[in-house]
Homo-oligomer: A and B are copies of this chain.
């Protein structure tokens, strides 16, 4: 079979499965999720064997230690995947809720009912656990999923997906509810992106080049899970102890993720009071601090480790690492303008005790999540109380921020008539 025919068969199978899944009862979906969890535990050995092949390959290719670690599976990581699926089973079913319903003057009753989107293709580069997590979420929300993981994790992903789709089928749901692209040939992605008759949504999760390819080539709607250039703005009326604590958390607690802070903006009125303590704390934690001339002047007068000068490029960079750019601004207005010029509409925070500044920041900043006095690290499906997430959308349509079960759905109008015709 040609690659094209193969992808077509995958997509057609998914469409058929999606029709069945849309009608599946909550009970049968939960039953499948629980057997998927069991199946993962039972297949631990064979999954770990396949994972060893990936890890070995990655080491041979000389991938950085951090990337090899992200690939690595062990008993506890497999247990996490299994209990994640059980967690999804415990969440309420988003499908079938009539969000609202009203009666028109002509007697028509019109309801907006939440339904699955249909067929979702996930293109990702991340850890093998994404295979299990996103399969669980898509199944619970009544969608069929086509998985296309990164080539480094191919053996692990194939082993996990095989278990999941077998268990779905054992629980009497269609095996094609969860399918994985078996080849690592990049042409396969190109073929998928053309199949807009059978695939309803593409979710790309990954780096700049992956997102760019998908956006340029897809004829299917795309919800990007793109970068987070997140800012924390320390206002002139901030509680400075809180500002130190929250900014430190936003940068250091887990620097390699999209909701970590990349740039710290500081009002000039409190820069001399705030920055020495703050920068010292960052440097002690191993954070490389890069700053505007004003920051360097303040730092240079006190600190030992010099602060490098920030270039235009720094303000646009998602470091995903223990690196931070810092800028002194003359006003809240300048802070908001900086955020709109360089930010990625992901997560933005202000630290302030001033009511007006807080209100203005919430009103004017255009981002998926806008915070007053809290760490940007909270932008997460679990932390928001959505139960789980397939990722964090940086799109301006359909869903912004964490995408949980409800965000994997859409609605249809259901209309009850008594023979009404249009005049």
Binding site for B on A (CB under 8 A): 19, 22-23, 102, 104, 108, 110, 115, 117-118, 196, 200-201, 215-216, 219, 221-223, 239, 242, 245-246, 248-250, 253, 340, 362-364, 366-375, 377-379, 383-385, 395-398, 400-401, 410-422
- What is the minimal beta-carbon distance from A362 to any residue of chain B, in angstroms? 5
**B118:A396 contact, CB within 8 angstroms:** yes
User: In the bound complex, what is the Cα–Cα distance between A412 and B370 (angstroms)?
Assistant: 8
- What is the minimal beta-carbon distance from A51 to any residue of chain B, in angstroms? 29
Which of A102, A219, A368 is packed against the most chain B CB atoms within 10 Å? A219
**B421:A375 contact, CB within 8 angstroms:** yes
**A420:B366 contact, CB within 8 angstroms:** no
Q: Which of B222, B384, B414, B422 is the one whose CB lies under 8 Å from A249?
A: B422
**A414:B374 contact, CB within 8 angstroms:** no
**A367:B253 contact, CB within 8 angstroms:** no
User: In the bound complex, what is the Cα–Cα distance between A266 and B304 (angstroms)?
Assistant: 84
User: In the bound complex, what is the Cα–Cα distance between A102 and B384 (angstroms)?
Assistant: 9
User: In the bound complex, what is the Cα–Cα distance between A87 and B249 (angstroms)?
Assistant: 50
Given A397-B223, A400-B413, decide whether A419 and B23 contact each other with a Cβ distance below 8 A: no
Could you give 29 example pairs across A and B, Cβ below 8 Å?
A19-B340, A19-B364, A19-B366, A22-B366, A23-B363, A108-B378, A118-B366, A200-B396, A201-B396, A215-B219, A221-B221, A221-B397, A245-B419, A246-B419, A362-B414, A371-B415, A371-B417, A373-B418, A373-B419, A374-B418, A374-B420, A375-B421, A377-B421, A396-B410, A397-B398, A397-B410, A398-B410, A400-B412, A401-B412
**B221:A395 contact, CB within 8 angstroms:** yes
Given A397-B221, A397-B223, A410-B396, decide whether A422 and B366 contact each other with a Cβ distance below 8 A: no
User: In the bound complex, what is the Cα–Cα distance between A378 and B364 (angstroms)?
Assistant: 38
User: In the bound complex, what is the Cα–Cα distance between A215 and B417 (angstroms)?
Assistant: 35
User: In the bound complex, what is the Cα–Cα distance between A373 and B19 (angstroms)?
Assistant: 24
Q: Which of chain B's residues have a CB closer than 8 A to the CB of A398?
A: 397-398, 410
User: In the bound complex, what is the Cα–Cα distance between A413 and B291 (angstroms)?
Assistant: 30
User: In the bound complex, what is the Cα–Cα distance between A373 and B418 (angstroms)?
Assistant: 5
- What is the minimal beta-carbon distance from A312 to any residue of chain B, in angstroms? 16
User: In the bound complex, what is the Cα–Cα distance between A217 and B22 (angstroms)?
Assistant: 31
**B411:A400 contact, CB within 8 angstroms:** yes
**A378:B221 contact, CB within 8 angstroms:** no
User: In the bound complex, what is the Cα–Cα distance between A396 and B109 (angstroms)?
Assistant: 23
- What is the minimal beta-carbon distance from A170 to any residue of chain B, in angstroms? 25
User: In the bound complex, what is the Cα–Cα distance between A265 and B421 (angstroms)?
Assistant: 18
**B223:A378 contact, CB within 8 angstroms:** no
- What is the minimal beta-carbon distance from A370 to any residue of chain B, in angstroms? 5
User: In the bound complex, what is the Cα–Cα distance between A349 and B420 (angstroms)?
Assistant: 12
Q: Which of chain B's residues have a CB closer than 8 A to the CB of A362?
A: 414
Query: Could you list 4 further interchain pairs (A-B, Cβ under 8 angstroms) beyond the known A372-B416, A400-B411?
Result: A108-B378, A200-B396, A201-B396, A221-B222
Q: Which of B115, B219, B248, B422 is the one whose CB lies under 8 Å from A377?
A: B422
